[in-house]
Amino acid sequence: MEPDNQTWVREFILLGLSSDRDTQVSLFVPFLVMYLMTVLGNFLIILLIRLDIRLHTPMYFFLTNLSFVDVSYATSIVPQLLVHFLAEHKIIPFVSCAAQLFFSLGLGGIEFVLLAVMAYDRYVAVCDPLRYSVIMHGGLCARLAITSWVTGSINSLMQTAITFQLPMCTNKHINHISCELLAVVRLACVDTSSNEAAIMVSSIILLMTPFCLVLLSYIRIISTILKIQSIEGRKKAFHTCASHLTVVALCYGMAIVTYIQPQSGPSVLQEKLISVFYAVMMPVLNPMIYSLRNKEVKGAWQKLLGKFSGFTSKLAT
């Protein structure tokens, strides 16, 4: 390759979901509505947990972190996506692209580790309930949450630094909805086998390791539940894990397909749809899953709405 061709691009062009102008404009409103629902739903969950003392437990402490991660992850991608739905030229500066990759990759990694931490919390709650408050004390919860944030951030910083050191030459069209890791690596005009190997290793560490911990936790949880004699006791024990198990099944499945085999994985269109699922659908679904399938959260909502109704009645009189 000619040395003159190995120049550093100053901006990228995102090809987005579709090249059809009418399709892009028609997608603006539903994506905007889902983003607003994401922000509102997750911040309401955070507010509810802060206001209701009954929800000041390890499980809801981790749920607060998860909700904040969901809002942040969606915000790192969706606002720019909305702008590009209406823009004729989908340009993103080099620095903005690097920042987007860092935050989206980091927040995604944090969420996977958090889900593993929450699985451990459910394991202790079901398998060792008498010592739950002793084991899951405030100090341990804080350390587990910090570990999640630090692990995801360090991995993202390393991957972002390695990726944006690659010479992109004159190729600046990213065939994706955002500056996604694999999509940016494909732009390089040099051999990227070492980068793909690094992605593979980090995926195994940051994705498969938490997944295995989740799997082990639920094997122990299911084993313990099956030993419970009463049907009512089994239902109650399973109910404490149902919301988390639903989120885990949704979150880990597509990530494993996407990143574990970057060379023989899904097509570019599938990668775009998977990114839309994580950036748009998952952040909307999480607060719904935890609200609709959780008696404590529903009870807290009813209590809060009751107070609000009483307050408005007093104002009216």
CA dihedral angle for residue 45, residue 51, residue 57, residue 61, rounded to 10 degrees: 50
The token duo for 84 is: 């590009």
Residues 274 and 276: their CA atoms lie apart, in Å, by 5
Residues with Cβ < 8 Å from 208, sequence gap 6 or more? 256, 260
pLDDT of residue 5: 46
Check residue 7 and give its pLDDT.
Answer: 53
CA-CA distance, 255 to 247, in Å (whole number)? 13
Mean pLDDT for the chain overall? 84
Q: Which helix (H) or strand (E) is 49 found in, with range?
A: helix 21-51
CA 119 to chain CA mean position, Å: 16
d(CA 145, CA 152): 11
pLDDT at 254: 73
Quote the percentage of the chain above a pLDDT of 90. 38
Those residues whose C-beta lies under 8 Å from the C-beta of residue 3, and which sit 6 or more positions away, are none
State the DSSP H helix or E strand holding residue 154, giving kind and residue range, or none if neither.
helix 138-163
Q: Is there a contact between 31 and 280 (Cβ–Cβ < 8 Å)?
A: yes
Does residue 132 sit in helix, strand or coil? helix
Residue 173 pLDDT exceeds 50: yes
For residue 253, pLDDT over 50 is answered with yes
Cβ 17 vs Cβ 27: under 8 Å? yes
- pLDDT in the model for residue 240: 77
Which tokens hold the place of 209? 């390791």
Sorted by where each begins, the domain ranges of the chain are: 7-316
Please provide the DSSP assignment of 212-239 as one string. HHHHHHHHHHHHHHHH--SHHHHHHHHH
> So what's the pLDDT on residue 99?
95
pLDDT in tens, 265-296: 557 777 788 889 899 989 998 888 877 666 66
- pTM of the complete model: 0.86
pLDDT the model gives residue 237: 78
The reported pLDDT for the residue numbered 302 is 67
| pLDDT score, position 2 | 44
What integer is the mean pLDDT of 156-168? 88
Per-residue confidence at 53, pLDDT binned at 50, 70, 90? confident
> pLDDT grade, residue 136 (50/70/90)?
very high
Say what the pLDDT of residue 245 is. Answer: 84
How many residues comprise the chain? Answer: 317
The predicted-structure confidence for 196-219, as pLDDT tens digits, reads as follows 888 878 877 888 889 899 999 999
Q: Encoding tokens for residue 1?
A: 């390759």
Confidence class for position 123, pLDDT limits 50, 70, 90: very high
Q: Tokens at residue 57, please?
A: 């437990």
**DSSP code at position 265:** S
Question: Taking the CA atoms of the chain, what radius of gyration do you get in angstroms?
Answer: 22
For 61-117, write each residue's pLDDT tens digit.
Answer: 999 999 999 999 999 999 999 999 988 888 999 999 999 999 999 999 999 999 999
Question: What SS3 state is found at 176?
Answer: coil
Domain 7-316 classification at class level = mainly alpha
Residue 309 pLDDT > 70: no
Q: How many CB atoms lie within 10 A of CB 203?
A: 22
pLDDT band at 316 (very low <50, low <70, confident <90, very high): low
